[in-house]
Structure 1
Amino acid sequence: MLAKRIKPMALQARRLYVETMFQFMGRALQAVSEVDRSVQEEARALPDGFLFEMTVMPNGPKLVVEHQGDGRFQYLTSEPPRPVDLSIQFKHIAHAFLVVSFQEKTSVAFANDRMLVDGDIDRAIRMTRILNRLEAFILPKLIAERAVKEYPQSLGLPEKVLSAARIYLKVATHFVETARAS
Structure 2
Amino acid sequence: MTDMLAKRIQPMVFQARRLYVELMFQVMGRALQAVSEVDEKVQNEARALPDGFLFEMMVMPDGSKLIVEHTGQGRFRYHGDKAPRPIDLSIQFKHIAHAFLVLSFQEKTSVAFANDRMLVDGDISYAVRMTRVLNRLESFILPKMVAERAVKEYPADLHLPEKLISAARIYLKVATNFVETVRA
Q: TM-score, normalised by structure 2?
A: 0.98
Partner residue of 2:84?
A: 81
1:158 aligned counterpart, secondary structure:
helix
Partner residue of 1:54?
A: 57
Residue of 17, 33, 39 corresponding to 2:42: 39
Q: 2:14 is aligned with what amino acid? A: L
CA–CA distance in structure 2, aligned partners of residues 116 and 82 of structure 1 = 21
Question: Paired residues, what number?
Answer: 181
Residue of 121, 124, 134 corresponding to 1:131: 134
2:32 is the alignment partner of 1:29: yes
CA–CA distance in structure 1, aligned partners of residues 51 and 95 of structure 2 = 31
State the 1:46 CA deviation. 0.3
Structure 2: give runs of 5+ residues left out of the alignment.
Answer: none
Partner residue of 2:166?
A: 163
Question: What CA deviation, in whole Å up to 9, does each residue of 1:55-85 have, x standing for no partner?
Answer: 0001110000000000000000241011100
The list of structure 1 runs, each at least 4 consecutive aligned residues, that deviate by more than 6 angstroms after superposition, is none
| RMSD (Å) for aligned C-alpha atoms | 0.5
Contact 2:65–2:81, Cα closer than 8 Å, also in 1: no
% identical aligned pairs? 80
2:69 is the alignment partner of 1:66: yes
Q: 1:180 is aligned with what amino acid? A: R
Structure 1: give runs of 5+ residues left out of the alignment.
Answer: none
Q: 1:46 is aligned with what amino acid? A: L
CA–CA distance in structure 2, aligned partners of residues 107 and 86 of structure 1 = 17
1:177 aligned counterpart, secondary structure:
helix
Partner residue of 1:146?
A: 149
CA–CA distance in structure 2, aligned partners of residues 131 and 77 of structure 1 = 17
CA–CA distance in structure 2, aligned partners of residues 151 and 63 of structure 1 = 24
Residue of 166, 172, 177 corresponding to 1:174: 177
Residue of 7, 21, 24 corresponding to 1:4: 7
Q: TM-score, normalised by structure 1?
A: 0.99
2:119 is the alignment partner of 1:104: no
Q: 1:85 is aligned with what amino acid? A: D
